[in-house]
Every structure is written in structure tokens, then in C-alpha cells.
Structure 1
Amino acid sequence: MTYTVGEIAKKLNVAPSTLRYYDKEGLLPFVERSAGGIRVFHDTDMDWLELIECMKHTGMPIKEIKHFIDYCVEGDSRINERLSIIRNQRDRVLVEIENLQARLSMLEFKTWFYEQAQANGTTSFYESLTPDDVPVEYHKYFERKWRADKEAAEKGESPKKYRAV
């Protein structure tokens, strides 16, 4: 089956201008043209387009995607380079996933914190929390406070007041 730019753009959920841009940048060397010069896409082109979109969404610049496509066009002599590009991008994504997990963890903690504040009617509820009062997965967010409170107690001082954020 064949598709127009508009039809394939709809399937990929991208603007037709995006596909035209990809073609202009040399990312679509496989796309045929009709006798009238109109781009004609086939079902088999979807694999290429999905990979291009995947790479783009992982932050790979168009120029690097172009290098990858060029290596694909060159054939089996460039398998090592293609594998290297894919591995590097995979590693970038893994780092990004770790960073997103850390952000999600902070947001989960803050959700818990503000739910507790809402239930207590104040954010200052946490001043007297002990490790037994806090779910284990959120201890890392209280360690500085608990350490400072312990040091103050050892010096015979009052615990420092904290402002909730």
C-alpha cells in the first residue's frame, strides 16, 4: 500500500512539514516519487520513519540521525558504526531515565509531604518527625534535618527551625 505525506504524517502523529524537512535533510533516501514528483511512502518505510522519530525523541540531533541513515544506506560495511550509534543513544536514554526517576522520587516525596501537611493543617508538622514517622523511601529527604537535630542536641542547643518548601 502507498501513502501520501499527509497520510503517513497522520500515522506517525507528526506534521507533514516534518516529513518534508526530513526529506530535505536527507533522512529519507528510500522515499520514492511519483511521475509528478509527489513523495510516495510504503508500509515498509514506516520502520525507518519510526526509528527516525525514536532517535529524535531521545534527543539525537538531525545531523547525527543523518549520519546513521547514511551508514544504513552504505550497507553492511557500516554495521559497527551503526551499532555504536545505537548503543550511545541507548546509554544516553538510560542516564535520562535515571534522572527522571530521581525527579519522580522527589515529586512522590513532595506529594506525601503536602498530603501530610494538608492533614495536619500546617507544613511545620515535620519538625518533630522521627524516622519511624516517615516512610523508609523518604528518609533520604530528612537525613540532613535529622543529622542537624542530633548535632544540636549533642551540643545542648535547640534544633534549628526549617522552612518547608
Structure 2
Amino acid sequence: MIKQKPKLGTYRASHDRTPKYTVKQVADMMEMSAYTIRYYENVGLIPDVDRSGGNARMFSEYTLGWLRLVHCLRMTGLPIEEVKHYIDLCQEGDSTIPERAELIFKQEKSLRNQLRVLKKQMEVLKYKKKFYQDLLENRRPDSCNPLNHAPANEPNITPED
């Protein structure tokens, strides 16, 4: 039996470098702020952004691919400096594949850890949501709130400076 290579999904690079989109159009398409897009371009995270005759940034399908990648990496928590390093490595060519792969593998591991933590936090929120729904539906006081357990004559003790 011959093993087939796994498909990489619907991601494919566009080589169309025809400037088509303004920053505002890109911001609307990608649900990002124009400020963020300009910042990414200013710090060198989006290679080959063209300029119009009036010096406005103009994005092509090619540069949108870079922007999507940069935005994805940032949303995983990768710091700007590391995103810049990754983009620089990409531009150096295939000799940097091992280093780029290591960066991606490391970031995936970090993101998996974040997901694990977020799942635990989501369980707490689900519990609290159910708890509050019950309180609201049955019009009960919050028995988990520490304020509801302190005797009225207990002094409020604060540490001295």
C-alpha cells in the first residue's frame, strides 16, 4: 500500500503581484485595523508592498499572503521580533527551512499549551455560567461570594504600610 502525502489544505501561494487593494480595503477584507496593517508594513513584516503615485500602500494577492501569515503568527502570540526573523528567513530562501520549521514547531507547541490552559478556563466559566443561571432563575443569594459569609461586626483588616 502506497502512503499518500497529507494534503496541505486550501492554502496556496499567489504569485499575482498586481497592486489592487488599499489599506482600507485590506482592513475591511481581513477584519484588521488599518493601523495594524500599516504598522506591520512599516516594521518590515510584509515584503514588497507597492505604493501608488500618491504614495499610498497598495496590496496585491501576493502581499496579502504575507499579511495573512504575519497576522496568523501574531495571533498565536509570536512576538513581532520573531515574526520579523521568520519573514527574513523566508526571504533568504530554502537554506533556512530547518530554522523556519523549528520556529513553527516551537510556536505550535506553545499554542497547544495555551489551548490546554484556555480549555481549563472555559470549564470554570461554564461552571460559573450554570451557577449564575441557577441563581437568577431561583432568585437565590450568591453563596460563593465571600462577602456573603463575613459577619457584619467583623472588622475590615488591611495590612499596614
2:128 aligned residue: 110
Letter in 1 for 2:96: R
Q: Give the superposition deviation at 1:45.
A: 2.0
1:70-98 Cα offsets, whole Å, 9 max, x none, are 00000101111111111111111111111
1:159 aligned residue: none
Q: Give the superposition deviation at 1:36.
A: 5.0
Aligned residues: 127
Letter in 2 for 1:80: P
2:109 aligned residue: 91
* Residues 111/13 of structure 1: CA separation in 2 closer, same or farther (3 Å cut): closer
2:42 aligned residue: 24
**TM norm structure 1:** 0.66
Alignment of 1:164 with 2:144, yes or no, is: yes
1:42 aligned residue: 60
Distance in structure 2 (CA, Å) of the matches to 1:3 and 1:66 = 23
2:9 aligned residue: none
Q: Give the superposition deviation at 1:63.
A: 0.9
Same amino acid, percent of matched pairs:
36
1:94-132 Cα offsets, whole Å, 9 max, x none, are 1111111101111112223334445555468xxxxxxxx
Q: Give the superposition deviation at 1:33.
A: 3.1
Which structure dedicates a bigger proportion of its chain to helix? 1
Unaligned runs of at least 5 residues, structure 2: 1-17, 146-161
* Residues 17/110 of structure 1: CA separation in 2 closer, same or farther (3 Å cut): closer
* Residues 121/41 of structure 1: CA separation in 2 closer, same or farther (3 Å cut): closer
1:62 aligned residue: 80
Larger Rg: 1
Q: Is the 8 A contact 1:27 1:65 kept in 2?
A: yes
Q: Give the superposition deviation at 1:26.
A: 1.0
Q: Which structure is richer in relative contact order (CA contacts within 8 A, separation 6 or more)?
A: 2
* Residues 80/164 of structure 1: CA separation in 2 closer, same or farther (3 Å cut): same
Distance in structure 2 (CA, Å) of the matches to 1:35 and 1:119 = 63
Q: CA RMSD in A?
A: 2.3
**TM norm structure 2:** 0.68
